[in-house]
Structure 1
Amino acid sequence: MKESLATIIDQLKLGDKKALDTLFYLYNKRIYHFGLSYFHNKEESEEIVQEVFLKLWFNRKSINRDGAFESYIFTIAKNTILNSLKKKIHHKAYQEYRLHVADITSNSTEDDVIYHDFEKLYEIALQVLPKKRKEIFILSRMEGLSYQQIAEKLGISVKTVETQMQLALKHFRGVLKSNTDLIVSASLFFLAAS
């Protein structure tokens, strides 16, 4: 099985979708049950399975055929689950903010505008990062990889990952600080209009 798994991984790395189908057949039920142990929800667990195999496909060239593939795919699953849970927490926090704070101003339009302004700022700030720094940031903040895992995945030192993350976070703070006035102005406009 180990030899044939290495062959399947080689085929996957070359872009063979049948190899992806084979891996899906081998691992999808276990990943589904892994997701189910966190979410206790069929639909969310199915989404996790789909996302894991999408990530596997898009990152196929970086798979180490000599490494422990099962450990690799379950690390993707774990990080995908944790990412999903983080998003749920952020969404829940935002909804609670709207319930408690937005009621004071009675202006959900203002909240929506501010929230979307922050989202746009974040996207713009992310897009202008240098390519490698952006990749490191995404692997850390969006895929939930540790600095050590990122260093191994990209073939760089942990110190380089730390430095690039510090620079990325400094960049985001700078963008946020320089655009705070714009967001506050929008907020005041909506308060004055209400």
Structure 2
Amino acid sequence: MTEQEVRKYLRQMRDDDSQLALKKFYDLCYDRFYRIAWYYLHADEAAQEVVLDVFFRIWQRRGSLQEIANLEDYFFITVRNAALARLEQENRQPEKTDLTADILPDADDSPEEIMIGEELFARYVKALDRLPPRCREVFIRIREDRQSYAEVAAALNISVHTVDAQLQKAVARLRAMLFPDE
């Protein structure tokens, strides 16, 4: 996701009320928004609903989004806040308390620890978006989706050795972006 592409689609949505631009923006940003929502909710359906709500709000606010200086941070915060609001709403419903108890931060976690975790996750999402497409896809399939090397190789029509090389490249690049001082 590049800032130029995002701004282009937002401008088209604002100036032309272009639903095609919204679709392209959706295709560009959906995976990232979903990962952010899932990080907080740990539930596929809930994360999907939150992301769709965010896209609806973006469409509604399309006239004013061009004025935002840092869109990447704005979208991260928007998705995070929507996910946290969803968690809060679920916590108010007594029958769902047991389901969400494992998702909420431990009472032992300090606000500082929670904030550090969120900041690290935000950096991870940004770094993941900066990987080359094939590296990112291999990394996500193996590390997040828990697919085997053979499954990824078959799905992407590449060799197992290529999967391994792409994963090593992704890990090295992520490490360099997340921990530049090491």
Please give the TM-score of this superposition, normalised by the length of structure 1.
0.44
Q: Pick the structure with greater CA Rg.
A: 1
Please give the TM-score of this superposition, normalised by the length of structure 2.
0.47
More helix by percentage: 1
